[in-house]
Amino acid sequence: MNDKISELIISLKNAGMAGKTTASVPASKLKKNVLLLLKKEGYVTDFEEVGKGVTKSFDVTIAYNKNKTPKIKDVKRISKLSVRKYVGYRDIRSVKYGYGLSVFSTPLGIISGKDARAKKVGGELLFTIW
């Protein structure tokens, strides 16, 4: 499950750093939910599912600031295949003094850290992005 997330977030970061407008990543339900959250939070502009069957992929449009720098400056994978990191809602902290985003897998689905804290639900901390 988590190796798919690593591929997604690193592809988005690298595409932004290279100045590309889009990145293509293989499709999965988990990636779709993560991309919906990143779109809601403004880290990606849009994404589109292309292809059929096993060759499905997402074409993701990277979001840029007004000064042409990518909104995704860096990502940090927290929960890995070898070590899972679970956090209760009381222990959820802000990322980069509120300028970043933590992404959780909870019983309510894939949600941000601030939403998890507001809904009083903990879960697996997948990654942080800023």
Q: Where are the domains of the chain?
A: 2-62, 75-129
Taking only Cα atoms into account, the Rg of the chain, rounded to an integer number of angstroms, comes to 14
CATH architecture of 2-62: 2-Layer Sandwich (3.30)
Res 40 pLDDT > 90: yes
Tell me which fold the domain 75-129 belongs to: Dna Ligase; domain 1 (3.30.1490)
Residue closest to 24 by CA, chosen among 32, 15, 33: 15
**pLDDT value of residue 24:** 96
- Start-end of H helices in 47-95: none
Name the strands in the sheet holding 44-50, side by side, starting at the edge strand that comes first in the sequence: 22-26, 57-62, 44-50
Q: How confident is the model at residue 54 (pLDDT cuts 50, 70, 90)?
A: confident
Q: Whole-model pTM?
A: 0.92
> 């509120």: which residue's tokens?
98
In which band, very low, low, confident or very high, does the pLDDT at 1 lie, cut at 50, 70 and 90? low
Query: Tokens for 82?
Result: 């070898």
